[in-house]
């Protein structure tokens, strides 16, 4: 009753009945609708079940109206959520139907791992990273997981590097554990040197036993996103210390990049090599900046130059690649490291059999064993849009962000953050897909985010900057269109000011 072929055709028609693209004004349901939907959640397990048709009806009619609409409307600017293109959404449904387990490379039986290899190769090409130089490529559940992979690989590498002059055998954290491996390496401290790290990097340090306090912010005074390179050198050369340098390639509050050009990356690479450090890039959404080519985006292009000098890179699929949750990716230039960290030891039933190609089983180079075929939606988007399609998408997102930033700068009621006395044109050139701002009136500023959200026409997220409330637009949807979206944003912001002044 629950699995006959008829149910599958019912499923197909149920899916096609769902609206992929309702009108943009439905950015959020009303609070009322959310409350109603919450009350309809089934709390008690029924003995006999309500059956397929009633379940679909329940989800579609009772629950779906209460979802927050984040991936449905381009006017959702809270968090960097992206959206889901039609190609990716369809591919994701197929992933569910085919239900492949992309864990073990079984080339005689399935193309799942070849597909993942092809998708990560296309993705590397999109990001101007030569696939053969980035042999360790896997899809993850998101950038948080990718940051865990980056620090885990970095931890393995820096301890081995610190031991290299003491012994010929590889000193592996994966094999010996961190305490024994550090002891053998003569290392008593691991530090992660960074600027304005994303919370998930600090979380990864905690998960991996490096400790949250191992993350050291060495930003420049007055430009906290930039490295104090002199300080970096001083900390790297401390004896008995192994280091990971983590570069925030577009910081989540401001969209600013930690490095400003090739020379700075070359300098950091030189220092890392001198002291056996690993360079990890958190480019969850920033790494996409590498696809830009037009001189109108010269500052972003420069900020992304040299990111290929890193050892590892975190990227998100469910943000700017506009595929459904959960999808992130991780690239590393090191072929030897992943199996030392992620191998499944002594599991003959996970053997790849007679595979003769270079593809390794994802379960030996990533976190999970059983895993969803996350590659298919990414593959679908990459072949459907191509490099030009993705570039056009990102340009539309940046252009809208610049439009919002310009409106904020010109407005007597708002102020763009971080504060800057640079000329407007210069500030706008540095805008990527994030716009951080506040209201000049302190009272309004406290309520700014909630008043904007109350419009239910656009959605933004609140954050804090310099100890004060601030508000943030993150533009990441594939449907973004400045001509259509900017007037609505201006209208909402002007309305919020007007409403505040009247009250
Ligand atoms: C979003 C984000 C993350 C975390 O990504 P998830 O996909 O939510 O796990 C990490 N770093 C940066 C810079 C981000 O923007």
pLDDT single digits (tens) 394-427: 999 999 999 999 999 999 999 999 988 899 999 9
**Which residues have C-beta within 8 Å of that of residue 433, sequence separation ≥ 6?**
80, 250, 255, 285, 320, 394, 397, 398, 401, 474, 475, 476
The residue whose C-alpha atom lies closest to atom 14 belonging to ligand 1 is 284
Q: Is 439 in the pocket of ligand 1 (CB under 6 A)?
A: no
Q: Is 208 in the pocket of ligand 1 (CB under 6 A)?
A: no
Report the phi/psi class of residue 281: left, alpha or beta, with left for phi > 0 and alpha for psi in -120 to 50. beta
112-373 belongs to CATH 3.40.640.10: yes
As a whole number of angstroms, the distance between CA 318 and CA 285 comes to: 9
Residue 108 near residue 352, CB atoms below 8 Å: no
Q: Which atom of ligand 1 is nearest to the CA of 146?
A: 9
User: Considering only CA atoms, which of 268, 369, 380 is closest in space to residue 321?
Assistant: 380
Q: Is 88 in the pocket of ligand 1 (CB under 6 A)?
A: no
Residue 284 near residue 143, CB atoms below 8 Å: yes
Residue 428 near residue 438, CB atoms below 8 Å: no
The stretches of 249-294 forming alpha helices (DSSP H) are 262-274
Q: Which atom of ligand 1 is nearest to the CA of 328?
A: 7
In testing the pocket of ligand 1, which one of 195, 284, 286 has its CB within 8 Å of the most ligand atoms? 284
**Which residues have C-beta within 8 Å of that of residue 201, sequence separation ≥ 6?**
147, 151, 192, 194, 215, 246, 282
**Cα 80 to ligand 1 centroid, rounded to whole Å:** 8
Q: What is the pLDDT of residues 454-464, one digit of tens each?
A: 988 899 999 99
Question: The tokens 């390794």 sit on which residue?
Answer: 360
Query: What is the reported pLDDT for 421?
Result: 86
Q: Is 248 helix (H, G, I), strand (E, B) or coil?
A: strand
- Tell me the pLDDT of the chain (503 aa) as tens digits: 455 556 666 666 666 555 544 444 567 778 888 999 999 999 999 999 999 999 989 998 899 888 876 556 788 898 888 889 999 999 999 999 899 999 999 999 999 999 999 999 999 999 999 999 999 999 999 999 999 999 999 999 999 999 988 888 889 999 999 999 999 999 999 999 999 999 999 999 999 999 999 999 999 998 999 999 999 999 999 999 999 999 999 999 999 999 999 999 999 999 999 999 999 999 999 999 999 999 999 999 999 999 999 999 999 999 999 999 999 999 999 999 999 999 988 777 777 766 678 899 999 999 999 999 999 999 999 999 999 999 999 999 999 999 999 999 999 999 999 988 899 999 999 999 999 999 999 999 999 999 999 988 899 999 999 899 999 999 999 999 999 999 999 999 999 999 999 98
Query: What is the reported pLDDT for 211?
Result: 98
Q: Tokens for 376?
A: 């298919």
What is the length of the chain? Answer: 503
Residue 137 near residue 121, CB atoms below 8 Å: yes
* pTM (two decimals): 0.94
Q: Is 142 in the pocket of ligand 1 (CB under 6 A)?
A: yes
Per-residue buried b or exposed e for 396-406, using 16+ beta carbons within 10 Å of the residue's own CB:
bbbbbbbbbbb
Q: Is 254 in the pocket of ligand 1 (CB under 6 A)?
A: no
Helices 482-502, 375-410: axis angle to 10 degrees equals 50
CA angle 184, 186, 189 (to 5 degrees): 115
As a whole number of angstroms, the distance between CA 496 and CA 209 comes to: 46
> Where in the chain are the domains?
1-28+70-83+387-503, 31-68, 112-373
Longest CA span, the chain? 75
**Cα 254 to ligand 1 centroid, rounded to whole Å:** 14
- Give CATH for domain 1-28+70-83+387-503: 3.90.1150.10
């Amino acid at each position: 009753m629950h699995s006959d072929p008829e149910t599958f055709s019912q499923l197909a028609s149920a899916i096609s009945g769902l609206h992929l693209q309702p009108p943009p004004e439905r950015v959020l349901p009303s609070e009322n609708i959310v409350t109603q939907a919450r009350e309809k959640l089934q709390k008690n397990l029924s003995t006999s079940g309500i059956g397929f048709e009633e379940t679909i009806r329940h989800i579609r009619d009772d629950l779906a109206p209460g979802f927050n609409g984040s991936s449905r409307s381009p006017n959702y600017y809270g968090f960097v959520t992206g959206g889901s293109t039609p190609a990716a959404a369809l591919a994701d449904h197929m992933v569910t139907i085919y239900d492949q387990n992309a864990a073990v490379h079984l080339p005689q039986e399935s193309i799942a791992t070849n597909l993942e290899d092809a998708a990560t190769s296309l993705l590397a090409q999109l990001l101007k990273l030569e696939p053969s130089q980035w042999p360790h490529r896997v899809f993850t559940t998101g950038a948080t997981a990718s940051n865990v992979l980056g620090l885990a690989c970095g931890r393995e590498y820096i301890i081995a590097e610190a031991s290299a002059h003491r012994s010929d055998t590889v000193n592996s954290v994966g094999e010996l554990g961190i305490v024994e491996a550090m002891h053998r390496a003569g290392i008593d401290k691991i530090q992660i040197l960074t600027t304005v790290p994303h919370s998930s990097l600090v979380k990864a340090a905690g998960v991996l036993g490096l400790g949250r306090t191992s993350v050291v912010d060495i930003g420049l005074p007055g430009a906290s996103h930039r490295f104090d390179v002199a300080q970096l050198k001083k900390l790297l050369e401390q004896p008995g210390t192994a280091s990971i340098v983590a570069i925030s390639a577009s910081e989540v509050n401001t969209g600013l990049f930690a490095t400003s050009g090739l020379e700075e990356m070359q300098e950091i690479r030189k220092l890392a090599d001198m002291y056996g450090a690993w360079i990890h890039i958190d480019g969850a959404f920033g790494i996409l900046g590498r696809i830009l080519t037009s001189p109108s985006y010269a500052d972003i292009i420069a900020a992304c130059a040299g990111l290929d000098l890193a050892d590892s890179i975190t990227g998100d699929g469910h943000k700017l690649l506009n595929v459904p949750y959960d999808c992130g990716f991780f690239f590393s230039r090191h072929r030897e490291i992943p199996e030392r960290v992620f191998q499944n030891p002594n599991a003959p039933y996970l053997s790849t059999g007679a595979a003769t190609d270079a593809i390794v089983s994802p379960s030996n180079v990533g976190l999970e064993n059983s895993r969803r075929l996350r590659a298919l939606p990414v593959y679908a988007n990459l072949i459907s849009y191509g490099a030009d399609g993705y570039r056009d998408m990102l340009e539309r997102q940046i252009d809208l962000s610049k439009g919002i930033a310009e409106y904020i700068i010109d407005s007597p009621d708002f102020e763009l953050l971080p504060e800057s006395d640079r000329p407007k044109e210069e500030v706008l050139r540095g805008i990527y897909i994030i716009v951080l701002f506040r209201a000049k009136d302190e009272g309004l500023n406290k309520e700014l985010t909630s008043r904007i959200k109350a419009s239910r026409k656009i959605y933004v997220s609140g954050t804090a900057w310099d100890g004060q409330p601030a508000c943030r637009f993150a533009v990441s949807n594939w449907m973004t269109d400045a001509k259509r979206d900017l007037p609505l944003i201006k209208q909402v912001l002007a309305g919020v000011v007007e409403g505040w002044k009247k009250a």
